[in-house]
Structure 1
Amino acid sequence: MDHTKRTLSFNQLSEENTKKLRSNIILLVTYKLFFFLGELLDELRISSIENLSNELFHEIFDYLDGIDIYLAFSNLNHRFQQLLTSSSILYKIKLIHFSSNEIFMFICEQIKHQIYSINFQIPVHLNQLLTSIIIDSSFNCLQSLVIEDIQPDKLIPFLININSLPQLFSLDIRTVHVIGDLNNIYQLIFALPTLKYNKLYLYGNECSMSIPMAVTGKQFSTIEYLQIGHYYTFDELSALISYTPKLRHLNLSHINQDDSDIETMLPISLEYLTSISMYTNYINFDEFEIFIQNIYSKVKNLYVTFSYQDITFLDAYRWEQLILQYLPQLKKFSLKYYEHRHSIDSGEQTQFNSSFWIEQKLIFNVEIHEYKILYLVCPYRKRWYEYKNSTVDYLKSTQLTIKYVFSGEPADNLFMYIKRIVNIVQIYHLDIQQQISIDRLMQIIHLLPDLITLKINSLTFYRSYFNKELPTTCSIEHASKIKKVYIEKTETIEEIYFFLNVCLYMEFLNVECIHSMSIELFLRDILNKINKDLRLLCIYVSKADDNMIKRLKEMIDNQKILSNYTIHHELGNIYLQWI
């Protein structure tokens, strides 16, 4: 970029375009200001944002993009000009398809001593922009950089330039371009003097590394959080993290498909490493076990996701032994195992409900997607059916979540998935996240004999031509065991009657009030149909308030529907409980 462009003044830019852009930005910023501060302005009786204090503007600017702020407020008046150039204002710049490189470069030149972060997220002409503007030590407050879709021939000069940044804390590089050799890239990254967080994501492109192991006495990287999003072998991984002795968090994905060196992997000692996250398609449990055995550290958090078809990943006893022997300080654990069609059945049920897992408050859940099953081991979180001081039965906590019900088409895959799942684990809780027909629902219940709770998105009385005559004796028997039912969206009172009729021993019903009915009529219709076991009712009404509770209480008392009961509302939910 020549000297004329470097010293380009704001007045030299296209006056018409600048005014139009300024006007649009001012409208946008003003809208955002009042969105965040509308109630405050009303309370303080402030009619103009110029009456707000500088301290409040500091907080407001923290939510806005730096380029937007400068275009909207520069040269408005002396007060705003002083505010924009104040050392206490740090700008966060996010470039997404930004229309003018010249405007960006001019503003960048004016405020480069105040820029805290720059996010080049697929802007137009990124590589031309990086050629025109040099990010160097003059950006003395710059702490975070995100670069997306950079060309390989621009990456090395870019990394050389940013080595002089005195406060660069975080570097995130993502590109779809093929970078064949990562040796120089990582050597330059490791040389960045203040870097704590680094992510390099190549979107699955093949690459190679022959980086040597770090030599004692040479300069090591300051990186504490390392995210590797490209193919690597375990030998290459060993070499990489030998440069990061201060590493605390390691995030891995895309282990090389052809890696065969895991058994010869050298032990790695990382004194400060406390967290490992891994996603991979290409290693089995035995190989993962060897990897963990060779990491000498004090890992407290382990989050792993596997797509490789090895049913051993669901062997609770193997996991228990691995954790007890090699991860004794583990506090947080999450396992995700994706299983695709035609997987081999082990014929054994998983034991993630043993005392070891219960003590850790970790539970086993399953999700059915359109083309795969997801098995999860994760911390227990409070569920919709837990009311007040109800106790958690970890032995019966396994939930099946169905995200795709094959509506209007044959559901052979769905039923195949369910049959496979019940061979592995008993299902006590069912969550169906799409609208489902009654006959499809009863087919599912037919396959799940141990259900305690049922949650559905919504119900339809549509009858599929693909389904056999329903309900079966088994489905009715299984439904009668369901104690708690939650219907997220309710269209007709008949949907509720259906569940009251088939779930004969229901104790808790959670529903949404039908929009076309008054809450009084809705509640009375339900109470007139209740069975002898139902003792708790939750109805969602968006406008629930104390007056509504008072009216319902008067109706119940006047019509003598219930005697010994309590009723109250919480966040739009009306709770009615009786003895």
Structure 2
Amino acid sequence: MSKSTFASYCKDIIIPYEDRIYSINLSNLFIYDLCSSPFHSLSQFLRLEILILQNIESNYLENLLPHLSSLLNLSSLIIMTIGYFHNVNKLYHTVFRLTALKYFKVSVNEHYVNEILSITKNHYSSLEHFVVDSHYQIDDLSILLSYVPKLRRLSFKKLSESYYLQMHMQPIILNSLTHLSLQTKHIIFDKIELFIRNLSHQLQVFRFSTEFDVTYLNAKRWQELIVFHMPYLRIFDIELQAKYYDNQNEFHISINQFMSPFWWERQWYFTYEYTDYLARFYSIEPYRRKHYILHNGLCQHTYPYRNNNNLCSVNHISVQDDIEIKNNLIYFPHVTELTLFDHSNKTLHSISTILDRTIPLIQLFKISINCRQFCIGKLMELLYFSPNIHILIINSISLTKVSSTSIEQTQTFQAICNTNKITNLTIKESTTKECILLFIKLCPQLQQLTVGIHSYVLLSIISNLLLEFEKCCKHLSCVCFLNSSNAFTTMVGPKFSSNYSIKCLLQNLYIWY
């Protein structure tokens, strides 16, 4: 959304109907800067029930926190900061006092702590569903969870080992907790086991993923934990993986322990993948995963009752190795997102022909290419057969063997230009003005652009570059140049009119117009 469109939206819709709005979703980091923005204070939104704050800086979030208490109907809150937040415990103290709040999701990067969170004995939150998408240390969980005794669902997506040694984890019992999801790294099984034993005996759904050591493959230990501390468990969904795990015999012996009546009677089945650099053991039916990783040279064993109908739930495919022509390729009918890694760039075959035998290219919505110097010819081919792409993310692109002019003159380029729906484009690594302009012409529907370019190059071309943007992309209103210093804002500031808002944050230069 452009600045002028946002101003009209506020004037004609937001401000006249403040007392009738029940849901707000803010994602543009410039909105919090504008003096005319109605979002400096939230107390006027009396009926607000759902609030989503994305890309909000620490100082703006701290200014908004006191206003949250006036939102008596607020039942769902999502906060995702950009940059560092100086004290997440202050945030928790405020949020846990919101009387109507039932759902809270938070993603913050904490810089330092100047207010210690201590176990509460007289103040409890009404929260029932809590999602923490930030790094959090396992030994601090007891204190945090003491504020939320009514929790029914709990999810930690980046749970980590503590930086200090703590011999005893104080137990916190959540009697209403039925769903627990943990994504961890470098935490020993002893601590996970102790946490579960102390937490709740009412769990019905347990999802767990980690980079494992061999102790996590102890089926007997899991069985005892389930029988004595999770007796009502219906869903046991685990994913254990290790990179460069070189003891294949030990791996097979361990996973064979999961082939017993205890697991089959509960319809809990597992499979594994083993390559030169990855060992992975995970639950299958009846759990339907949304992400699937394709490997070559895969040593895979499937346990009984594997149902390929589960592939219908997959909406994201990652291709880790060389793309090869095979007769037994698995087909994923509902995939909308594709991720390619370095080895995918080496194939000499038609990339679209191979991929179209695995996924329906025509329904792809997002493509991420995590390859260095991805071939421009392969990209053009892929985009030609994927006309419904809205989001394109590229690590870096190779234009060394062909000029942008010759590419623009091809029928493939013209066809893509006339049909593609790309609105969000990212080129991560340093690129050239020639490459940027090529993609600007290729994507006339573009609304948001993120590119990496050297600061000294950008300083000399930025004015002309923005003119080209306005000429070729009528819908483009937000641009981010990666890896720009804070001083760069001062240097480029005089080059812009008042119609442009500029900001440098985390070494990235943002422009909104």
Given the two structures, how large is their TM-score scaled by the length of structure 1? 0.49
Work out the percentage of aligned pairs sharing the same amino acid: 26
Counterpart check, 1:403 vs 2:294: yes
- Answer whether contact 1:115 1:142 (CA < 8 A) is retained: yes
Task: Give the 3-state SS of the residue equivalent to 2:124 in structure 1.
Answer: coil
- Answer whether contact 1:112 1:138 (CA < 8 A) is retained: yes
- Answer whether contact 1:199 1:228 (CA < 8 A) is retained: yes
Tell me by how many angstroms 1:319 deviates: 1.1
Q: 1:170 to 1:455 in 2, by over 3 A?
A: same
Counterpart check, 1:121 vs 2:27: yes
- Answer whether contact 2:219 2:254 (CA < 8 A) is retained: no
Task: Extract unaligned runs of 5+ from structure 2.
Answer: 312-316, 333-345, 347-356, 360-513
Tell me by how many angstroms 1:163 deviates: 1.1
Bigger shift: residues 332-341 or 258-267: 258-267
Within the candidate set 95, 117, 128, 1:189 is matched to 95
Partner of 2:10: 105
- Answer whether contact 1:116 1:143 (CA < 8 A) is retained: yes
Partner of 2:240: 337
Partner of 2:219: 316
- Answer whether contact 1:198 1:223 (CA < 8 A) is retained: yes
The aligned amino acid for 1:166 is L
Tell me by how many angstroms 1:368 deviates: 6.6
Provide the rounded CA distance (Å) in 1 between the counterparts of 2:72 and 2:105: 19
- Answer whether contact 1:113 1:139 (CA < 8 A) is retained: yes
Provide the rounded CA distance (Å) in 1 between the counterparts of 2:166 and 2:172: 13
Q: 1:257 to 1:104 in 2, by over 3 A?
A: farther
Task: Extract unaligned runs of 5+ from structure 1.
Answer: 1-95, 384-400, 406-413, 442-453, 459-465, 467-486, 490-579
Provide the rounded CA distance (Å) in 1 between the counterparts of 2:236 and 2:79: 28
Tell me by how many angstroms 1:366 deviates: 2.9
Tell me by how many angstroms 1:210 deviates: 2.3
The aligned amino acid for 1:312 is T
Tell me by how many angstroms 1:111 deviates: 1.4
Tell me by how many angstroms 1:304 deviates: 0.8
Partner of 1:164: 70
- Answer whether contact 1:122 1:149 (CA < 8 A) is retained: yes
Partner of 1:223: 127
Q: 1:228 to 1:488 in 2, by over 3 A?
A: closer
Mapping 1:403-422, distance limit 5 Å:
403-405=294-296, 414=297, 418=299
Partner of 1:376: 282
Task: Give the 3-state SS of the residue equivalent to 2:16 in structure 1.
Answer: helix
Tell me by how many angstroms 1:430 deviates: 11
- Answer whether contact 2:270 2:281 (CA < 8 A) is retained: yes
Partner of 1:448: none
Provide the rounded CA distance (Å) in 2 between the counterparts of 1:231 and 1:488: 35
Task: Give the 3-state SS of the residue equivalent to 2:22 in structure 1.
Answer: strand
Task: Give the 3-state SS of the residue equivalent to 1:291 in structure 2.
Answer: helix
Task: Give the 3-state SS of the residue equivalent to 1:286 in structure 2.
Answer: helix
Q: Pairwise CA RMSD of aligned residues?
A: 3.6
- Answer whether contact 1:120 1:126 (CA < 8 A) is retained: no
The aligned amino acid for 1:114 is R
Provide the rounded CA distance (Å) in 1 between the counterparts of 2:235 and 2:37: 45
Mapping 1:227-306, distance limit 5 Å:
227-261=131-165, 263-306=167-210
**What are the superposed Cα offsets for residues 167-188 of structure 1, whole Å, 9 maximum, x if unpaired?**
1011101123112322211111
Tell me by how many angstroms 1:201 deviates: 0.7
Given the two structures, how large is their TM-score scaled by the length of structure 2? 0.55
Larger Rg: 1
- Answer whether contact 1:234 1:262 (CA < 8 A) is retained: no
Q: 1:135 to 1:340 in 2, by over 3 A?
A: same
- Answer whether contact 2:160 2:185 (CA < 8 A) is retained: no
Partner of 1:143: 49
Tell me by how many angstroms 1:241 deviates: 1.1
- Answer whether contact 1:97 1:123 (CA < 8 A) is retained: no
Tell me by how many angstroms 1:279 deviates: 0.6
Provide the rounded CA distance (Å) in 2 between the counterparts of 1:333 and 1:172: 27
- Answer whether contact 2:15 2:38 (CA < 8 A) is retained: no
Provide the rounded CA distance (Å) in 2 between the counterparts of 1:116 and 1:359: 47
Q: Which has the higher strand share?
A: 2
Provide the rounded CA distance (Å) in 2 between the counterparts of 1:430 and 1:223: 37
Provide the rounded CA distance (Å) in 1 between the counterparts of 2:92 and 2:266: 38
Bigger shift: residues 129-138 or 187-196: 129-138
Tell me by how many angstroms 1:121 deviates: 1.9
Task: Give the 3-state SS of the residue equivalent to 2:118 in structure 1.
Answer: coil
Partner of 1:482: none
The aligned amino acid for 1:230 is S
Task: Give the 3-state SS of the residue equivalent to 2:176 in structure 1.
Answer: coil
**What are the superposed Cα offsets for residues 348-371 of structure 1, whole Å, 9 maximum, x if unpaired?**
141222111111111102357996
Within the candidate set 169, 189, 201, 2:107 is matched to 201
- Answer whether contact 1:206 1:230 (CA < 8 A) is retained: no
The aligned amino acid for 2:81 is T
**What are the superposed Cα offsets for residues 542-570 of structure 1, whole Å, 9 maximum, x if unpaired?**
xxxxxxxxxxxxxxxxxxxxxxxxxxxxx
Provide the rounded CA distance (Å) in 1 between the counterparts of 2:71 and 2:166: 38
Partner of 2:398: none
Partner of 2:379: none
Provide the rounded CA distance (Å) in 1 between the counterparts of 2:78 and 2:157: 15
Specify which structure has the bigger relative contact order, considering alpha-carbon pairs within 8 angstroms and separated by 6 or more residues. Answer: 2
